[in-house]
Amino acid sequence: MDNELQGRTAHVAAIRERAEAEMKAIGIDETFIGKLVDTFYGRVLAQPELGPVFDARLSGRWPEHMEKMKSFWSAVAFRNGAYGGKPVQAHLGVANMTPELFPKWLELFAATLDDIAPNDEAKAWFMATAERIAKSLTLSLFYNPALDDPALKRA
Ligand code: HEM
């Protein structure tokens, strides 16, 4: 291995170790991520506005989606590269997806964390992360530069 590659490998390992330590300090482990994903998507399905939007797209593919979401949260929490998908592309063309659904998603996520998170710090970490990603997905999916036109704002 050349020096540059060695340096990069050490850097990635250091990032991962730090993430693991940070998550451990606030009580987040793989078992909790599994429980969170199972509980949250169970509630998503039962929520009258979110449930049908998810189920229309995922009917017959729920087990695969659950595994993907566990890998996704594991990758975000532990920086372990467990997830290699493309979230923006995955949400393109989801029928009846609207920006208004995002606050509902976040509200349900917060309520789920209130019930099962090991402590307030863990809830705060998941919420800050989900809010950041929700904002970024909302912009990628719905941002329309025309609506930022100052002329429109004056009108
Ligand atoms: C109202 C809000 C949302 C709706 C309706 C929604 C819906 C969906 C649906 C239907 C899929 C499955 C796509 C497919 O496999 O065909 C999906 C995948 C996914 N969603 Fe969401 N989602 C929402 C918000 C979020 C948020 C806030 C996050 C992150 C915190 C997120 C992360 C993901 C990820 C990582 C995948 C898997 C992508 C892949 O296939 O690699 N979603 N979502």
pLDDT digits (tens, 9 = 90+) for 98-147: 999 999 999 999 999 999 999 999 999 999 999 999 999 999 999 988 88
pLDDT higher for 140 or 152?
140
Distance 15 CA to ligand 1 centre (A): 26
- Does some domain include residue 32? yes
What does the alpha-carbon distance between residue 34 and residue 69 come to, in Å, rounded to a whole number?
9
How many distinct structural domains can be found in the chain? Answer: 1
Residue whose CA is closest, atom 21 of ligand 1? 91
Distance 91 CA to ligand 1 centre (A): 6
- Does some domain include residue 154? no
The CATH number linked to 68 is 1.10.490.10
* Residues counted in the chain: 155
Residue 1 pLDDT: 61
**How distant, in Å, are the alpha carbons of 26, 63, 116, 119, 135 from that of 106?**
21, 22, 15, 18, 11
Q: Provide the token pair at 104.
A: 């509902």
Residue 27 pLDDT: 97
127: nearest Cα among 87, 81, 76: 76
Residue whose CA is closest, atom 15 of ligand 1? 90
Residue 50 pLDDT: 98
SS3 content of the chain, % helix, strand, coil (to 5): 75, 0, 25
The chain-wide mean pLDDT, for the chain, equals 95
Residue 150 pLDDT: 79
pLDDT in tens, 53-92: 999 999 999 999 999 999 999 999 999 999 999 999 999 9
Ligand 1 within 6 A of CB of 87: yes
How much is the average pLDDT of 31-56?
98
- Does some domain include residue 149? no
How much is the average pLDDT of 5-31?
96
- Does some domain include residue 152? no
Domain range for 45 is: 3-143
- pLDDT greater than 70 at residue 37: yes
Q: What is the pTM of this model?
A: 0.93
- pLDDT greater than 70 at residue 155: no
How much is the average pLDDT of 17-45?
98
- Does some domain include residue 148? no
- Does some domain include residue 67? yes
**Torsion angle of alpha carbons 7, 10, 12, 13, nearest 10°?**
180
Q: Which atom of ligand 1 is nearest to the CA of 101?
A: 1
